[in-house]
Amino acid sequence: MLDLTNRTAYNDDQNMFRDTVRKVFAEHMEPYLDQHEEDGIVPRSAWKALGEAGMLCPTVSEENGGLGLDFGYNAVIAEELSYLGSSAGFTLQNDITVNYFERLGSDEQKAKYLPGMISGDIITAIAMTEPGAGSDLQGIRTTAKEDGNHLIVNGSKTYITNGQHADVVIVVAKTDPTMGAKGTSLILVDADTPGFERGRNLDKIGQHSADTSELFFNDVRVPKTNMLGQEGRGFIHLMEELPQERLSIAIGCQAGAQRAFDEAVKFVKERKAFGKTVFEFQNTKFSLAQMQTELQVGWAHIDWALKKHMAGELTTEEASAAKLWHTDLQNRICDEALQLHGGAGYMNEYPIARLWRDARVTRIFGGTNEIMKEVISRGI
């Protein structure tokens, strides 16, 4: 369980909400973690349970049918999910896609999608990455060509979180391929639209419980009213949401790193070698001391970034730095924690193995850490 003794970002209401989150996860997630990993997906029943508990899209305004809470509640969910050791796509819906719908959506789009997103009846995805375009979103090739009052979408996407479950996908497409980034728009494609196909639930190194998919768009015909936000401003809309996305990743990484450390402490205090516990060796104590120090710094930084973001002051460069630092931290600590497990750490029956596998992709998604350095350097 995460130690909240020295946290500064949360108020009493958010701490009470955390108790609810833990109870819901203990009932609907924790007993089934291995099954989720084996199935490669978290069932819709879990989404519904979170919806009933107010744990999906809690920041949606009361006007739009939500609870009207601040991002701190999202952060609580993200921390507890990551500490649990699950890679379910709840945070994608909470921290990323819902903002596009509420901030950019028409009244009709909000009415159609937001209630279901809050209840867990509608699961969303955002399709940016393509086989030939990853962090460089300006290089996308998927098109949405005008045809009367409709748009015809053609292209393919890959590595799409919630891809197997998604009822609606925010598709990043070129509405004017001659205009580069200025010709990019966001198009809503419902999963039952003719021409939309799901490919494989991709076989990944880690994060097995996250359904991550290929998506194909073959002459998918949607009305122009399915455009989300302004035509030609898709790239700008994406950039506007990146600070929260990258902070969300940093939050999950910090909690995942803490869980890895806690697993290491538990193991070395129980495991014996040469007549004493592994914890009693100086190398072990020094390794744990280094990790504990870095985690202390990390939590202080997360709380700083959280408070700054909730005040509307977190910059793109600061969010990118948070993503860079906390993903690196998670990978270092997971690796060291596995090392302290010895051979047991390489066995999938120990939680550290899953934590170590799941951590690796965090330095890649949400923009690679190399791209984070590029973004940070622009503000220097």
* Whole-angstrom distance, CA of residue 225 vs CA of residue 18: 38
pLDDT above 90 (res 179) = no
Instruction: Find out whether 299 and 6 touch, Cβ atoms under 8 Å.
Output: yes
DSSP H helices in 85-154 = 90-92, 98-104, 107-119
Position of tokens 């090392």?
A: 339
Residues 120-132: what's their mean pLDDT? 94
* Whole-angstrom distance, CA of residue 134 vs CA of residue 369: 13
Position of tokens 């969910």?
A: 77
For the question of residue 245 being annotated catalytic, the response is yes
pLDDT above 90 (res 263) = yes
- Interstrand relation of 150-161 and 212-223 (parallel, antiparallel or unpaired): antiparallel
- Interstrand relation of 168-174 and 124-127 (parallel, antiparallel or unpaired): parallel
Q: Phi and psi for 59 in degrees, rounded to 5? A: -85, -10
Instruction: Report the phi/psi class of residue 291: left, alpha or beta, with left for phi > 0 and alpha for psi in -120 to 50.
Output: alpha
The pLDDT of residue 178: 85
Residues 213-240: what's their mean pLDDT? 96
DSSP state of 138: G
Q: Which pair of structure tokens corresponds to residue 226?
A: 């399915």
pLDDT above 90 (res 293) = yes
Tens of pLDDT along 29-40? 999 999 999 999
Degrees to nearest 5, angle at CA 195 with 232 and 197: 100
Residues 354-378: what's their mean pLDDT? 96
The pLDDT of residue 302: 98
The pLDDT of residue 139: 79
pLDDT class for 92, splitting at 50, 70, 90? very high
The pLDDT of residue 134: 65
Instruction: Tell me the residue type at 65.
Output: G
Instruction: Find out whether 96 and 248 touch, Cβ atoms under 8 Å.
Output: yes
Cβ of 288: how many Cβ atoms within 10 Å? 18
pLDDT above 80 (res 225) = yes
76-90, 122-136, 320-334, 346-360: which has the minimum mean pLDDT?
A: 122-136
* Whole-angstrom distance, CA of residue 53 vs CA of residue 90: 13
The pLDDT of residue 373: 97
pLDDT above 80 (res 111) = yes
DSSP 233-250: -HHHHHHHHHHHHHHHHH
Q: What sign results for the dihedral spanned by CA atoms 128, 140, 253, 303?
A: negative
- Interstrand relation of 168-174 and 150-161 (parallel, antiparallel or unpaired): unpaired
Q: Which pair of structure tokens corresponds to residue 365?
A: 């998604």
- Those residues whose C-beta lies under 8 Å from the C-beta of residue 289, and which sit 6 or more positions away, are none
Position of tokens 């098109």?
A: 143
Tell me the percentage of the chain whose pLDDT exceeds 70. Answer: 99
Instruction: Tell me the residue type at 119.
Output: S
Show the domains of the chain with their CATH numbers. Answer: 12-122 (1.10.540.10), 125-232 (2.40.110.10), 236-378 (1.20.140.10)
Instruction: Find out whether 64 and 114 touch, Cβ atoms under 8 Å.
Output: yes
Degrees to nearest 5, angle at CA 304 with 134 and 323: 15
Instruction: Find out whether 162 and 128 touch, Cβ atoms under 8 Å.
Output: no
- Interstrand relation of 124-127 and 143-147 (parallel, antiparallel or unpaired): unpaired
The pLDDT of residue 244: 96
Instruction: Find out whether 17 and 78 touch, Cβ atoms under 8 Å.
Output: no
pLDDT class for 182, splitting at 50, 70, 90? confident
pLDDT class for 132, splitting at 50, 70, 90? confident
Instruction: Find out whether 249 and 362 touch, Cβ atoms under 8 Å.
Output: yes
Tens of pLDDT along 20-69? 999 999 999 999 999 999 999 999 999 999 999 999 999 999 999 999 99
pLDDT above 70 (res 241) = yes
Q: Which residue is catalytic, options 37, 80, 245, 336?
A: 245
Q: What sign results for the dihedral spanned by CA atoms 371, 373, 379, 380?
A: negative
Instruction: Report the phi/psi class of residue 176: left, alpha or beta, with left for phi > 0 and alpha for psi in -120 to 50.
Output: beta
